[in-house]
Amino acid sequence: MTTETPMNKTTDTATPVTPPPTTPLVPLPHPAARALTVAGSALALIGTFLAWTWTKEFPGNLTVTGYPGGLQVLTLVGALLTLLFTLSGYDIPGLRWLTPGGKNSPVLLSALGVLATTGYAMGAISYELGGAVNLEPGAWVSGIGALAAVIGALGLPTDQPHDPGDPHPHHWVNLWFRLRHALSSPEPGRAKDLPAWAEILIITGGFGAGLFIFAYGIRTEYSEAFIGFLIIAAFGFSAVNRAGLLKRLSALTAKHRNVTLAAAFVAAICFPFTQSNDQFALIGANILIFATVALGLNVVVGLAGLLDLGYVAFLGVGAYAAALVSGSPQSTIGVQFPFWAAVLTGALASLIFGVVIGAPTLRLRGDYLAIVTLGFGEIFRITMNNLNGRSGPDVTNGSNGVPNIPDLELFGFNFGVPHNVLGTELTRSGNYYLLMLLFTAVVVMVFRRSAESRIGRAWVAIREDETAATAMGINSFRLKLLAFALGACLAGLAGTVQAHVSYSVTPEQYQFAGSVPPNSAFLLAAVILGGMGTISGPLIGAALLYLIPAKLQFMAEYQLLLFGIALMLLMRFRPEGLVADRRKQLEFHETGQLDVPEDKPLPEGATGVAKAGA
């Protein structure tokens, strides 16, 4: 029997009182936020034409009014980029193409880059000159303008759907939400098909801009300017990527692949002709050596999925083999091979060592293989150190190595002598840069052909699931050994040039980890940083990891600490690397392709399992 409760009956239970809703800070209206961003960017740009300090003791001569210099140029470029991205939000004809992937996230990223660069410049001036009193009005104008641009950019709506856990979507105070979604991968819409000549011009312009940025970074003559360059380049790259421009360029390069390779090769050839200092060309040559070895390691790690922690030993094998047969007075062999024979000797020696080391060890997997390869790298260095005539046969002169390696000569062209090419003097470093560029082109061709072949697809299958690949009939051991041997051969090829560029080879150059690349840890990091399994990824990663220590030598004591912090940030925000293929993007990011909206009915015949998203 059911008893009904009278409607007017009172109870002792206290009625819960709903607290009044908290009033969040009111975000700026979108037109006002965009106007503030435009005004702040313009103010930061105008400040670069005013003096930032009163003395020339700070590098870059920031005392001139009307002519930006040093760090002022970086702020000017960032402010101009922010201004263009912001104006594209007004749908101005001619600027709409700037933001196909999102109109507001690029504005926030570029504005943050301007604020970070300007703030760093003001802090560096105050630290080196003894206080903020040394700042002239131009610095304050740019700093206030950069801060206003960031505040305005935070007031713009997000390009991504809001976080379900955020009670105030699009709220400008939620900085973490805004930054996290600003760094996410863009999805630009379908672009109009342009004429072939226009697409080729866009590709050429893109590589020309890349060459200019790379050359500018190498030409920076003092650490303050290089640190500012890194800051604005990082934020600028993120902004351009978030705008969708890089994806548009990638689509064009994939469509015109041969034109892309030719444009990249021509841009790289022009680099030594843009350098007035031989030291900068030498950095470029060493970057190519480092990048070529990283690309060879990409065959082993990126395609076949074999974790090799002693890969730098193959570079050492090629370098030692070429040094011993190149006619050095300290060589214990006492022979002098021509250039082509020395190159083949170094590549063949590394290939043989790759087979000898890989044959008994490649039946291991994962961490066990990594430990074995790490041991091989240390064994090589210790062996080269002990072949000194006392601990072992006199072959490598022990810790003294093989010095005084003569310069290469090919068809009467001596690489150690400056040459006049098209009215420009090409120095020794420029000669070796062009030679190494030729070797890099060969390695790129080998990598590309291997990745697109049946063998390359088999390597990818082994990397994804070796057990499944073996069950499908793939001989995993033979193909892993082939990848190991090919990677070792490519490293030995680069080692032959490295021996002549550096004049000598010593065991200490080939360690697992050290303050000076190349070493095994930095090579592996270059592949992961750039993007495993791609061509341009290891090249970009190697360039960054070699260029940064070379330009910031005063931070050598903290290099590994900063290197570890950079890797943690990369793994958090972009685990697929700077340049990643579609497979890696789908692997590291949730796409939601299989999700079924709960507010829509299932198709006829579907089950609840499908709705859960298998």
Average pLDDT, the chain: 79
- 322 in Cβ contact with 342 (< 8 Å): yes
Tell me what percent of the residues of the chain surpass a pLDDT of 70: 82
Neighbour-count burial of 590, counting CB atoms closer than 10 A to its CB (0-12 exposed, 13-18 middle, 19+ buried): exposed
Determine, yes or no, domain membership for 257: no
pLDDT attached to residue 388: 78
Q: Do 531 and 483 share a structural domain?
A: yes
- 540 in Cβ contact with 578 (< 8 Å): yes
Most confident of 89-98, 304-313, 483-492: 483-492
pLDDT attached to residue 367: 79
pLDDT band per the 50, 70, 90 thresholds, residue 567: confident
Full domain range(s) for residue 446: 275-305+396-549+556-583
Instruction: Indicate if the pLDDT at residue 296 is higher than 70.
Output: yes
pLDDT attached to residue 121: 92
Instruction: Specify the residue for token string 């050596």.
Output: 289
Determine, yes or no, domain membership for 369: no
Cis peptide before 518 (omega within 30 of 0): yes
Calpha distance 74→340 (Å, rounded)? 45
Which positions ≥6 away from 165 have C-beta within 8 Å?
Answer: none
- 196 in Cβ contact with 525 (< 8 Å): no
Q: Do 281 and 187 share a structural domain?
A: no
Lowest pLDDT segment from 71-75, 182-186, 236-240, 416-420: 182-186
pLDDT attached to residue 24: 46
Q: Do 542 and 449 share a structural domain?
A: yes
Q: Quote the pTM value.
A: 0.77
Q: What average pLDDT score do residues 545-566 get?
A: 77
pLDDT attached to residue 184: 56
Determine, yes or no, domain membership for 258: no
Instruction: Report the domain count for the chain.
Output: 2
Q: Do 298 and 157 share a structural domain?
A: no
Q: Do 178 and 283 share a structural domain?
A: no
Residue 424: what are its φ and ψ, rounded to 5°? -120, 135
Determine, yes or no, domain membership for 564: yes
Q: Do 145 and 280 share a structural domain?
A: no
Could you read off the pLDDT of 311-321 as tens digits, one per residue?
888 988 998 89
Q: Do 286 and 423 share a structural domain?
A: yes
pLDDT band per the 50, 70, 90 thresholds, residue 393: confident
Calpha distance 477→339 (Å, rounded)? 35
pLDDT attached to residue 185: 54
pLDDT band per the 50, 70, 90 thresholds, residue 83: very high
Report the candidate in 29, 53, 50 with the shortest Cα–Cα distance to residue 145: 50
Determine, yes or no, domain membership for 105: yes
Q: Do 524 and 403 share a structural domain?
A: yes
**Amino acid occupying residue 270:** C
Determine, yes or no, domain membership for 519: yes
Instruction: Indicate if the pLDDT at residue 22 is higher than 70.
Output: no
**Amino acid occupying residue 24:** P
Instruction: Specify the residue for token string 């390009």.
Output: 159
Q: Do 142 and 280 share a structural domain?
A: no
Q: Do 422 and 492 share a structural domain?
A: yes
Calpha distance 509→323 (Å, rounded)? 14
Determine, yes or no, domain membership for 352: no
Q: Do 436 and 299 share a structural domain?
A: yes
Which positions ≥6 away from 14 have C-beta within 8 Å?
Answer: none
Q: Do 184 and 40 share a structural domain?
A: yes
Instruction: Indicate if the pLDDT at residue 75 is higher than 90.
Output: yes
Q: What average pLDDT score do residues 277-281 get?
A: 81
Determine, yes or no, domain membership for 359: no
pLDDT band per the 50, 70, 90 thresholds, residue 25: very low
